[in-house]
A = this chain, B = another copy of it.
Amino acid sequence: FVDDRNLLYALVADGPLKTFCYRRLSYLKNKFGLHRLLNEETESEAMKNPDISCKRDFYNVRKVDTHIHAAACMGQKHLLGFIQEKARKQPDRVVLLKDGVKMTLKEVFDHLQLDPHYLNVDSLDVHADRQTFHRFDRFNNLYSPMGASELREIFLKTSNDIGGEYFADIIRQVETSLVEQRYHFLELRLSIYGKNYNEWESLAHWFTSHKLQSTHIRWMIQVPRLYDLYKSKGVVNTFQQILENVFLPVFEATIRPNKHKDLSLFLRHITGFDSVDDESKQEAGFMKKSSPTPDEWQRPTNPSYTYYLFYMYSNIARLNYLRHIRDMNTFTLRPHSGEAGHHDHLLTAFMLAENISHGLVLKKVPVLQYLFYLSQIGICMSPLSNNHLFLEYNKSPFPDYFARGLNVCLSTDDPLQFHFTMEPLMEEYAVAAQVWKLSVCDMCELARNSVIISSFSHSEKQHWLGASYREEGEEGNDPCKTNVPSVRVAFRHETLVKELRILCHAFSRDVSHT
């Protein structure tokens, strides 16, 4: 792995290769510009034609929000109303054990000197604003309503003194509105921190006891990269302990499912792992062959992004092997990558990930961006989130990636912090369509990408995209389901094939010369 990574690292920095890739990317963008001008009318006519598009339009094609955190999946107005309702209806319910003392909901509010009746969205204070730009620390604080960690604990945690009941309730409300809207689906992230061995059982119990299975939601596990924090607090001694806390329970449940009923059931609804944290943080150093193994990693500093991902990947790979031969569902690795920080993260993700969230840094690394294009690795982008944290909306590389044919889709990340309307995913599409003048065809292509990138099952994807959606090019597109005209899909496919052919041709010429 380290050898391959080093080779790739050298390639990415190679001058002539950079020029080559930059020029190919420019070529791809211009080619799409031409396609648009020449075929816009054809595309638009095909979508209007009931024989081709049946009753589909942008509103009733399936869209998956491929990157959204469970603790922020509701709007700010929704969360406020929920908190106020609970405070009104269950003031005397014991919701918190603080320093051994039982506290009712009313006592919690009294302690915080807050009158829930007089709260507003502003005092809730969970929305990102101009103060959060380049301040991931401040952004993290926004997960605490009114800045009170007690309220985060009570309302947005799976494991607390009410068994995560409120959090399950509000997620179920989000789910109800998804079912009503019919065509929106979510891939919600829940956290496993790796601080102790019981996290999985506790999370699984929360999930099964609150019956959170849903046709509209798939679940993913996000692992924050917080070894250094736990180490400094004495929670863990080696990095190995984190890995064991994250993966051993899953191995256990895979081998002895009957001994771990909740967890086994829960795992059936888990589709993959995400790796999360502030990517802009300074990193100690790259992973080397001489780096200590996880059980030797006792130093106070955090391992690099690459180190984390490599060991997550290795564990998931072994796990998938075990699960596959037992006819159990397997897991993907779909980390945050390239939201900020060193492009090394993207290079690692290119080698290990199924697809990624963000990918902003590809903007500055033409070789990697070209590789992501050629390999069609999915990129779940959230320009409204980036706009509040790392990159202004107008500087987003999204429209360029899309034009070049990278496999991108739109996702919300955190509706609680970033969105205003009751339809956050629609808001994400609407802002993009308005600012970047996307056509309906563009929007439907993005929706189709989102389904393909998602971890919904093969049969669900067949139902939503057409039976042969895995075929390449036109064959794989059913306009009656996707509302994407064949001319668009054909263009994307032909362009990619030509691009690959150029490379093969150059390679074979190179080989014959030597």
A384: chain B residues at CB < 8 Å are 434
Q: Which of A123-148 contact B (CB under 8 A)?
A: 123, 125, 127, 129-131
Question: CB within 8 A of A123: which of B50, B59, B387, B421?
Answer: B50
Among B47, B120, B427, point to the contact of A53 (Cβ < 8 A). Answer: B120
A439 to B133, CA, bound (A): 13
Contact B130 A40 (CB under 8 A): yes
Q: C-beta contact mask, A36-78 vs B, less than 8 Å → 1, else 0? A: 0000100010011110011111111000000000000000010
Chain A contact residue count (CB 8 A cutoff) = 50
A430–B434 contact, CB under 8 A?
A: no
Q: Are A54 and B118 in contact (CB under 8 A)?
A: yes
From A387, A392, A426, A435, residue with most partner B Cβ within 10 Å: A435
Once the chains bind, are A130 and B439 in contact (CB under 8 Å)? yes
Inter-subunit contact B435/A393 (CB<8 Å): yes
Closest CB of chain B to A348's CB: distance in Å?
A: 31
**With an 8 A cutoff between CB atoms, is A437 at the interface?**
yes
A423 in the interface (beta carbon within 8 A) = yes
A464 is an interface residue with CB less than 8 A from chain B: no
Chain B nearest Cβ from A162, distance in angstroms? 26
Given contacts A421-B421, A421-B423, contact A120 B50 (CB under 8 A): yes
Chain B residues in 8 Å Cβ range of A420? 426, 429-430, 433-434
| Other-chain residue from B118, B127, B131 in contact with A55 (beta carbon distance below 8 A) | B118
Residue A11 at the B interface, CB < 8 A?
A: no
Chain B residue, CB-CB nearest to A423:
B421
- Report the separation of the CA atoms of residues A57 and B54 in the bound assembly, to the nearest whole angstrom: 43
Is A337 part of the contact surface with B, judged by Cβ < 8 Å? no
The reply to whether B119 and A55 form a contact with Cβ atoms under 8 Å apart is yes
Looking at the assembled complex, report how far the CB atom of A43 sits from the nearest CB atom of chain B, in whole angstroms.
10
Considering the chains assembled together, what is the distance between the CA atoms of A349 and B120 in angstroms?
A: 40
By DSSP majority rule, is chain A's interface helix, strand, loop, or mixed?
A: helix
Across the interface, name the chain B residue whose C-beta is closest to A115.
B50
Q: How far is B423's CA from A180's CA once the two chains are assembled, in angstroms?
A: 17
* Those of A399-437 within 8 Å (CB) of chain B: 419-423, 426-427, 429-431, 433-435, 437
Task: Verify A48–B439 contact, CB threshold 8 A.
Answer: no
Interface residues in A431-464 by Cβ distance below 8 A to B read: 431, 433-435, 437, 439-440
User: A115 to B430, alpha carbons, bound, how many Å?
Assistant: 29
Inter-chain CA distance A58–B53, complex, in Å, is 40
Give CA–CA (A127, B434) in the complex, Å: 12
User: How close is A9's CB to chain B, nearest CB, in angstroms?
Assistant: 36
Q: A44 contacts which chain B residues (CB < 8 A)?
A: 122, 129
* A422 neighbours in B (Cβ, 8 Å): 422-423
How far apart are A301's CB and chain B's nearest CB, in angstroms?
A: 35
Q: Are A120 and B434 within 8 A (Cβ)?
A: no
Specify which of B47, B129, B433, B440 is in contact with A439 (CB 8 Å cutoff): B129
- The answer to the question of A483 belonging to the interface, with a C-beta cut-off of 8 Å to chain B, is yes
* Closest Cβ neighbor of A130 among chain B residues: B437
Q: Is A179 an interface residue (CB 8 A)?
A: no
5 A-B pairs with least C-beta separation? A57-B121, A57-B120, A50-B118, A420-B430, A47-B122
